[in-house]
Amino acid sequence: MTATTTRPPRTDDALPPVYRPLPSWVLPVLGAAAVLLALGLRALLGSGPVLTVVFAVVLFTIMVNVVSRRVEGQRRAADRTVTAVVSAMFAAAMVPLLSLVYTVVGRGSARFDLDFFTLTMRNVVGEGGGAQHAILGTLIITGLATLISVPIGMMTAIYLVEYGRGKLARNVTFLVDVMTGIPSIVAGLFAYALFVLFFGPGVRFGIGGAVALSVLMVPVVVRAVEEMLKLVPAELREASYALGVPKWRTILKVVLPAAAAGIATGITLAVARVIGETAPLLLIVGTTSSLNLDPFNGRMATLPVFTFYSFFTPGANPQPDLDRAWTAALVLMLIVLGLNLGARLIAKAFAPKGGR
Amino acid sequence: MTAPTPTTGRTPEVPPPGEPARPRSRPAQRLGDRVFSGLSTAAGVAILVVLAGVALFLIIESIPVLGASAEQIDGDGGFFSYLAPLLFGTVLVAVLALLFATPLAIGIALFISHYAPRRVARTLGYLTDLLAAIPSVIYGLWGATVLAPYVVPSYEWLAENLGFIPFFAGPASATGRTILTAAVVLAVMILPIMAAINREVFLQTPALHEEAALALGATRWEMIKMSVIPYGKSGVIGGAMLGLGRALGETIAVLLVLSASGGISFNLIGQANPPTIPSNIAAQFAEATGLDVNVLVATGLVLFLLTFAVNFAARAVIARRAEFDGASG
């Protein structure tokens, strides 16, 4: 490459002898030029808004590369190009996610009223009605799943950290990993296949959903609690043993309290992970339009399944059903985000500072 | 106090670097100890039992399918010709989603870990974690309502101008609810979790490696190429495999977005799309009776084995990375 300026010629793989960075006004000017060019292309080709932004970003990246190569050399140019590409990728990935949040909030607010939380869908055709039955059903089934998963998950984590050695512990660790990857629909099929043996074909009830959700929740609880228990310093245990405290009391009175905040965070996140599960509940719990608070008897409505059916099979006049579906989605999203923020707050209140 | 014995046996797959040696001292054994250790061991064994139970009950419910004649199963050619388009659709949509999501996830992770200002990065990290928690039914609603109508003109353009490529052979779907749309929705869904895994791996790059590269005069990109990428490579592969496992098992989003009516076809934007195993189960299960239920459970068993294999491979890759860490650090 031959330089047209008075600077001495240089090879491509070395920095110039005296490194001169791009003046700070160059990037904004290039950005403005790229936007103008993209707008010009838009007028010329009639491209949509998304394509225009893509053009602008691509043009900007190319121009930065060319200018930087001329002034700063090949290596700096590559660095600037990658910076532009990585930032653009991040922005591109945020677009659908922001669109999702915007859509759910926008469409969900239409029916976000008191009725939605106090009425059921019993004898409701068309407008009106609410999702009280579904909200309560979700709380009952998720609560039962938590009641099943937390003791099993915590005891398994205690086993792995405090007791487990050898082949059994290795296998349990491995299988917990495998369980993390079980598709949610397979968990639903498992619950169905299990209860159909006792109750015959076509079985549907809430506790089956709780069992299916537990299959998904236990590995998450195990992983979270295990990580937290490992963080408890060995000195605390040693001090307790030195005072003659038996191991089980050491675990109950020293180790678990020391890890309590982290465990609470982990369990909250695990609840958030399963509360939005639709597929297993679709198979084993079904849905209903009335309030059913008995998880051992008959179908129950749940918020995710309510969302799904309202959207998937709306009535003859679809709009009220679609409105209810979006509001249910909004409530579900608020619950999940609330649980996540709650978990963060718990963690933040007790966490040591530092890291990112 | 008795001397601590070395902690070699417990979890050799993932030796956490820098973990202090845990005491294996033997305090007094009492009744409470025996009860407590018995309970916790029982919980560990319960995990084994549950997982064995999942496989066992699925197999029990699938057995009638083997004995059934070809005519009793939907379609003409028996179980395997029923399964073939389902399996094809499942793998196709998941692999496409992975193709879209992997580079973006790496980009997002690098942006958060090495490009964004530290304070912003922490917030962005929280944000991606929050997005990873949004339930799939909401992604499905969004895909069917917002994305599918939006992409219809692009599909028509593809069919007109690139129709000679089998993937884009026309006529384009008028609703936009095609394999390609479903793959994009799945990609958006697995993106946050994959980005979170990649970010964790990139952040774990030893600071000394990065500083050594910078001290030699490397630019930021050269530093990333020399220290971050080699260190994080197997973590990225493992994260991608986990994302693939999720995409394979995703039910509701695919069911809501994909208009499934066809068989095996590589046409990504047409009207006849193959269904996927989980979306087919969810769509058929409520009305299924008798042998149909067994057929659906059998396809579920196939899905279970498929995701098991993928996750197994992912764990193996990640475990190799753990060994690599142990050797180098």
> How confident is the model over B214-264, as pLDDT tens digits?
999 899 999 999 999 998 888 898 889 889 988 999 999 999 999 887 778
A164–B297: do the CB atoms touch at under 8 Å?
no
Residue B146 touches chain A, beta carbons under 8 Å: yes
Task: Spell out the residues 6+ positions from residue A23 whose beta carbon is closer than 8 angstroms to its own.
Answer: none
Q: Which residue from B27, B40, B281 is facing A163, i.e. has the nearest CB?
A: B40
A337–chain B Cβ distance below 8 A for any pair: yes
Enumerate the β-bridge partners of residue B260: B273
Q: Distance (Å, rounded) from C-alpha A121 to C-alpha A134?
A: 9
Express as a percent the part of chain A with pLDDT over 70: 93
Region for residue B246 given its phi and psi (left: phi exceeds 0; alpha: psi -120 to 50; beta: otherwise) = alpha
Looking at residues B3-26, what average pLDDT do you find? Answer: 47
The single-letter DSSP state of residue A109 is G
pLDDT in tens, B40-75: 999 989 888 988 888 898 998 888 887 777 666 665
Q: Are A262 and A347 in contact (CB under 8 A)?
A: yes
Substitution target in A51, A97, A241, A326 with the highest count of B β-carbons within 10 Å is A97
Give pLDDT, residue B10: 43
- Residues B93-124 as b/e (b if ≥16 CB within 10 A, e otherwise) read bbebbbebbbebbbbbbbbbbbbbeeeebeeb
User: Of all residues in chain B, what percent carry a pLDDT higher than 90?
Assistant: 35
| Average pLDDT estimate for B7-13 | 43
Q: Which of residues 103 through 132 in chain B touch A, CB cutoff 8 A?
A: 103-104, 107-108, 110-112, 115-116, 118, 121-122, 125-126, 129-131
Q: For residues A97 and A128, give the distance between their C-alpha atoms in angstroms, rounded to a whole number.
A: 30
Q: Which residue has the tokens 């989980």?
A: B278
For residue A78, list chain B residues with Cβ-Cβ distance below 8 A: 219, 221-222
For the cut 60, the answer to whether the pLDDT of residue A38 exceeds it is: yes
Identify all chain B residues contacting A232, using CB atoms and an 8 Å cutoff. none
Interatomic CA distance for residues B241 and A49, integer angstroms:
34
Q: Identify the pLDDT of residue A314.
A: 87
Q: Is B227 exposed, middle or buried (0-12, 13-18, 19+ CB in 10 A)?
A: buried
pLDDT, tens digit (0-9, with 9 covering 90-100), for A117-129: 998 888 888 888 8
> What residues 5-24 of chain A have any CB closer than 8 A to a CB of chain B?
15
Which residues from B are below 8 Å from A238, CB to CB? 1, 23, 25
* Average pLDDT value for residue range A218-228: 93
pLDDT of A332: 94
**DSSP of B203-232:** HTS-HHHHHHHHHTT--HHHHIIIIIHHHH
The answer to whether A193 contacts B217, with C-beta atoms less than 8 Å apart, is no
Chain centroid, CA B311 distance in Å:
8
User: What is the predicted pLDDT for the residue at A310?
Assistant: 92
By C-alpha distance, the chain A residue nearest B300 is A186
Q: What one-letter code names the amino acid at B117?
A: P
Q: How far apart are alpha carbons A327 and A104 in whole angstroms?
A: 8
Among residues 26-45 of chain A, which lie with CB inside 8 Å of chain B? none
Q: B138 and A337: CB-CB below 8 Å? A: no
CA distances from residue B77 to B83, B250, B298 in whole angstroms, order as listed: 10, 27, 16
What letter would DSSP give residue A270?
H
* Three-class SS state of B260: strand
SS3 content of chain B, % helix, strand, coil (to 5): 70, 0, 25
- Tens of pLDDT along B75-127? 566 788 888 889 999 999 999 999 999 999 999 999 999 998 888 888 888 88
Which residues make Cβ contacts (< 8 Å) with residue B288, sequence separation at least 6?
B296
**Residues 214-233 in A contacting B (C-alpha not used; CB under 8 Å):** 215, 218, 222, 230, 233
The reply to whether A187 touches chain B by the CB within 8 Å rule is yes
Q: How far apart are CA A142 and CA A146, in angstroms?
A: 6
Look at B323 and A245; give whichever has higher pLDDT. Answer: A245
Looking at this predicted complex, what is its ipTM? 0.86
Residue B249 tokens read as 């098992």
**CB B175 within 8 Å of CB B151:** no
What distance in Å separates residue B164's CA from the closest CA in chain A?
23
Q: How far is CA A36 from CA A24, A29, A43, A54, in A?
A: 20, 11, 11, 13
DSSP characters over B46-105: HHHHHHHHHHHHHHHHHHHHHHS-GGGSSSSS-HHHHHHHHHHHHHHHHHHHHHHHHHHH
Q: What mean pLDDT value characterizes chain A?
A: 87
- Flag whether pLDDT at B9 surpasses 50: no
d(CA A154, CA A224): 9
Are the Cβ atoms of A179 and B135 closer than 8 angstroms? no
**B170 touches B160 (CB < 8 A):** yes
The whole-number average pLDDT for the span A223-234 is 92
